[in-house]
Amino acid sequence: MITRHSPPSLSMDNQPITVLQNTTNVHSDGTTLHAFFQRHKRPADDETTGPLNKKPRAEVTTESQEAESQDFVDDAVEEVCVPRTNTFKMLRNMYRARNVFAQPSIPTNKVLESFVSSGKADTFYCHSLRDNTSFSPPYTCAFSNGSKRGENSLLAVAAEDGAVHILNTAKRKDWDCEPQRTILAAHSNAIFDLKWHPSDEYIATASGDQTIVISSVHHERRLTTLFGHTQSVKCLAWEPENGNVLCSGGRDGAILVWDLRVGEKWRPSTHSRELGPSLVMPQAHKNIGTRCTPNGRKVARSITSLTYAVGKPYSIISSCAFDGVLREWDIRLPSQKSKLPKKQTRPIHMSPMDPTVECDSSSSRRPRGITSISVGTGPTEGLLFALANDSNIHTFSADTLTPISSSRFSHETMRTNSFYIKSAISPCGKWMITGSSDRKAFLYDVSNASRNFEISPWEGKGGVVELEGSRSEVGAVDWGHDIFAACYDRVVRVWRPDIETRRLCEDDPEEQKWNWNWAKRL
């Protein structure tokens, strides 16, 4: 049984465990949300300041207003992704109380354009376990839940050789050495997805060896291996409340549900103790039968992304590589036998239409698959963002899974024709980052996605910026607290908002291009 504060009651498998390095510097000394509130909290009710319900007197001099405005904008950018909706309400009240600006929010385009990445301190390479002289391409990455809250800065990166690199991405100077990292040999094949447990004590990895491995971060060892898929495992999703349930989707088209509170059983066929799935939903995105290729071979519809529905701890939403239709499943179904049932499990909700067909400008108008799903928070609560192979980010209603045709994000230079390309939404719910096969990443402002107007294309309104950090495809991406990471061919690069460095890059781009990469407005 996996709980938030105790290790799971699962025995270690019989495979050898390789731990190459120890974990150090697992906590960063960055500014926390508590420190932010302490810095901007209102004064106490005393004889000097007066009652708390009285508004502070605004400065009347222009110079003091400009200085106060600049300090406030710098602080706001520094804490730009606080994952609490009332933070931006507080910022708005501070604007009005200080009588500095009339605008109710921070200019979005300035925040997006302030992201920079150092060519030395913000780049990380993944050395191959088989050959220490070569590099292993990173396939996926994920910030810890504490990193999304601003408590630390831990980034887990999974590579092609089956290793998991846990990096400390805290801000450092270019001449400082990289903090020591932890490398776990979780699989012997490529890892396509990894997810942190809600407690950040464990990591689940999905691999091309058809297995799922749960590893302990603090004990630096592999706890158990889950068998059940017949082809490569593509995606994972932890139960958000306490992490007792793990869902997985594979290339075989099946969704498996693992209840880790159930004990392992002895398998005579393998002469070992294994944990079997509690629920099997075979061919989850099949309509009538499996589709056929031109040579007549039947192909299952691969599951590409899984996520839990907000406010529904027993519902998961899935996508597939065949079309742009989302499906919602209730996992509170009775346990099934080891043999697959003849009848297909029915979803409780399904998208009434495929937005990828509506957006297809070609004569074929064929459906395109979805590579990843992101759940909106804050100003985008109640929405789902799905990155599809038609180079569009489609918006869905989280309740009905109905696509919102008037809310679509794209750019003429963005290409997402590979299932290795992913997207992610910021913890504050205002910005979306997506990779691209044309060697660039793209940042979108999605805070107005719920409004009824056409968002794509942006037509130069400052709602999208591009980031070019390598000469290779940009694949997996993920957000932390005021930071995001992108996986390139051989390197993982992190980006941070830094107005001062951004100004230096603008003033002398020829000199700074050797040390920095920066966002560019489209």
Model confidence at 346, in pLDDT bands (50, 70, 90)? Answer: confident
Please tell me the distance from the alpha carbon of residue 234 to that of residue 302, in angstroms, as a whole number.
8
**Does residue 65 or residue 279 have the better pLDDT?**
279
**Is residue 84 pLDDT above 70, yes or no?**
no
Please tell me the distance from the alpha carbon of residue 464 to that of residue 27, in angstroms, as a whole number.
32
pTM metric for this prediction: 0.76
Question: Token digits for 309?
Answer: 């529905």
> Each residue of 402-420: pLDDT tens digit?
999 888 898 888 999 889 9
Transcribe 208-250 into DSSP letters. TTSEEEEEETTTTEEEEEEE--SS-EEEEEE-TTT--EEEEEE
pLDDT at 289: 44
Question: 72-86, 97-111, 186-200, 463-477 — which one is most confidently predicted on average?
Answer: 186-200
pLDDT at 269: 62
Low-confidence winner among 284-288, 336-340, 367-371, 387-391 (lowest mean pLDDT): 336-340
Question: Token digits for 140?
Answer: 């996926």
Structural domains present in the chain:
115-521 (2.130.10.10)
What order of strands is seen across the sheet that includes strand 370-375?
370-375, 383-388, 393-397, 403-409
pLDDT at 101: 32
Model confidence at 451, in pLDDT bands (50, 70, 90)? Answer: low
Please tell me the distance from the alpha carbon of residue 434 to that of residue 474, in angstroms, as a whole number.
8
> Each residue of 206-265: pLDDT tens digit?
999 999 999 999 888 899 999 999 999 999 999 998 899 999 999 999 999 999 888 776
pLDDT at 492: 94
**Is residue 52 pLDDT above 70, yes or no?**
no
pLDDT averaged over every residue in the chain: 77
What average pLDDT score do residues 484-501 get? 93
Low-confidence winner among 97-111, 182-196, 370-384 (lowest mean pLDDT): 97-111
Please tell me the distance from the alpha carbon of residue 140 to that of residue 474, in angstroms, as a whole number.
11
